[in-house]
Amino acid sequence: MEGEQFRSAAREMADYISNYLENIRERRVLPTVEPGYLRPLIPAEAPETPESWQDVMKDIERVIMPGVTHWHSPQFHAYYPTANSYPALLADMLSGAIGCIGFTWIASPACTELEVVMMDWLGQLLGLPGEFLAASGGTGGGVIQGTASEATLVAMLSAKSRKVSELKEKGKAAQDIVTQLVAYASDQAHSSVERAGMLAGVEMRKVPSDEQFGMRGPQLRKAVEEDLKKGFIPFYVVGTLGATPACSFDNLREIGEVALQFGMWHHVDAAYAGSALICEEFRYLMDGIELADSFNFNPHKWLLVNFDCSAMWFKNCNDVVDAFNVDPLYLKHDQQGQMPDYRHWQIPLGRRFRSLKLWFVMRLYGKKLLQEFIRKQVSLAHQFEDYVKDNPLFELILPVTLGLVCFRLKKSNEANEALLKAINAGGVIHLVPAKIKDVFFLRFAVCSRFTESHDVEKAWMEVKKQTDIVLSKE
């Protein structure tokens, strides 16, 4: 394909994408294909000679779309949202075209420098304390990771390295330290936190959450003190804002105080909920954030930036650079030290020009429209919450804070499992469940940026219809 052909194919693709997204409401949200559906639809081997673009284009509807779960359908209410917007799609095109690998400043100065400034813009939008921002001139700064899971692991490895050097200076042998390290998170923390512990080779403790499913200081302190008595070395704690099962919130101030007292690194995982902090009325949720060492959220979840874009800030970026720095000659350059070499801030070497997505989205929406977007989605969740409250057959698991409604039939787990199954088989909407302390419930997340009030009403009608069917079979 040459330039002229690309121009016309790109126009055609832009039309296809706009039509797909603008008419996504008409597609069945969950596909009906069976495992193995795709292989028979295409040849067994790559073609010998070039095919035409038209043939490729035709196969999108024939081969791909029947097997797509439409995450941007206004009837998609599963998991948490994943973001999608035209400005971010455009930025991804440009990023692909520039196609640089920005591991050091000199490997593409614009890639590093835009990221430094965008992470400051974004941090300011959220109201993060100045210590986390590069513009403050201190040791703080932000970086774009691929996912929240990586951010949790990067912070954990930095904390591990910081603790090991601290204790080595006091004369303790490195191998003794490593086997005694222990990390903490709430029993509501994301599975990626437990996984980070496995990957880092350290013990993890799940701290019991309270009746609002949040982790509090006293429970954390108790777990830490028990471990200290047994000779363990507490070094890392993850506080969660907007935990995945029920969008519950840990008490960051209490956790931060315990972390300070015992010399632990405090990382905050706000993967979903972080986007809401652009609205002043939700900032109370991060009270105590100034005590944390690192903070992370996913603009690719709820801030209109397509996957992948996970924003992470350090209060002292030397911690991660010291932990991750290796310096082969071929990566050295004359300007080292004046700007970040982001390869020291992440696990891979290579990195894409992802800050373009943040730049385009923040400029083309502006703070005002981004806030309107979040507020509208929260109000749609409250609309669904009101339907649940007004119906005596149902109960809420937690009051709604952001865009997730957790609810169940006031009946057995089995009845709720049957309801969930019937809803997903119906194909009108898509939900996933969760379970806390042996209580099975349904999660209704406002996901698509196309979701309107009438979609929420339609979803509730479907829940009621399937409830009638399930209850009539009891």
Ligand X SMILES: *Cc1c(COP(=O)(O)O)cnc(C)c1O
Tell me how far apart the alpha carbons of residues 369 and 172 are, in angstroms, rounded to a whole number.
54
DSSP 8-state assignment for residue 38: S
Of 298 and 306, CB closest to ligand X: 298
User: Is 294 among the residues that bind ligand X (CB under 6 A)?
Assistant: no
User: Is 143 among the residues that bind ligand X (CB under 6 A)?
Assistant: no
Of 409 and 447, CB closest to ligand X: 447
User: Is 269 among the residues that bind ligand X (CB under 6 A)?
Assistant: yes
End-to-end CA distance of the chain: 61
User: Is 149 among the residues that bind ligand X (CB under 6 A)?
Assistant: yes
Q: How far is the CB of 307 from ligand X (least distance, A)?
A: 8
Of 105 and 441, CB closest to ligand X: 441
Mode of pairing for the β-strands spanning 394-396 and 310-314: unpaired
Residue 140 · residue 131 · CB < 8 Å: yes
Q: How far is the CB of 272 from ligand X (least distance, A)?
A: 4
Q: Which candidate, 320, 161, 242, places its Cα nearest to that of 252?
A: 242
Q: Which residues pair with 434 in a beta bridge?
A: 441
Q: Sketch the per residue contact string, 226 through 245, with ligand X: x for CB under 6 A, - otherwise.
A: --------------x-xxx-
Q: How far is the CB of 374 from ligand X (least distance, A)?
A: 16
User: Is 297 among the residues that bind ligand X (CB under 6 A)?
Assistant: no
Tell me how far apart the alpha carbons of residues 309 and 303 are, in angstroms, rounded to a whole number.
10
Residue 133 · residue 313 · CB < 8 Å: yes
Q: What Å distances lie between residue 355 and 81, 95, 277, 358, 403, CA to CA? A: 20, 9, 20, 5, 26
Those residues with Cβ within 8 angstroms of residue 109's Cβ, 6 or more apart along the chain or in another chain? 339
Rule CB under 6 A: which of 301-360 touch ligand X?
A: 310
Tell me how far apart the alpha carbons of residues 199 and 233 are, in angstroms, rounded to a whole number.
18
Residue reference for tokens 């099975």: 440
Those residues with Cβ within 8 angstroms of residue 369's Cβ, 6 or more apart along the chain or in another chain? none
Q: How far is the CB of 67 from ligand X (least distance, A)?
A: 21
User: Is 295 among the residues that bind ligand X (CB under 6 A)?
Assistant: no
Rule CB under 6 A: which of 68-87 touch ligand X?
A: 80
Q: Sketch the per residue contact string, 187 through 216, with ligand X: x for CB under 6 A, - otherwise.
A: ---x-x------------------------
* Active site amino acids: 190
**Near ligand X by CB under 6 A: residue from 181, 200, 220, 271:** 271
User: Is 298 among the residues that bind ligand X (CB under 6 A)?
Assistant: yes
User: Is 147 among the residues that bind ligand X (CB under 6 A)?
Assistant: yes
Q: How far is the CB of 361 from ligand X (least distance, A)?
A: 17
Which residues bind to ligand X, rule: CB under 6 A? 80, 147-149, 190, 192, 240, 242-244, 269, 271-272, 298, 310
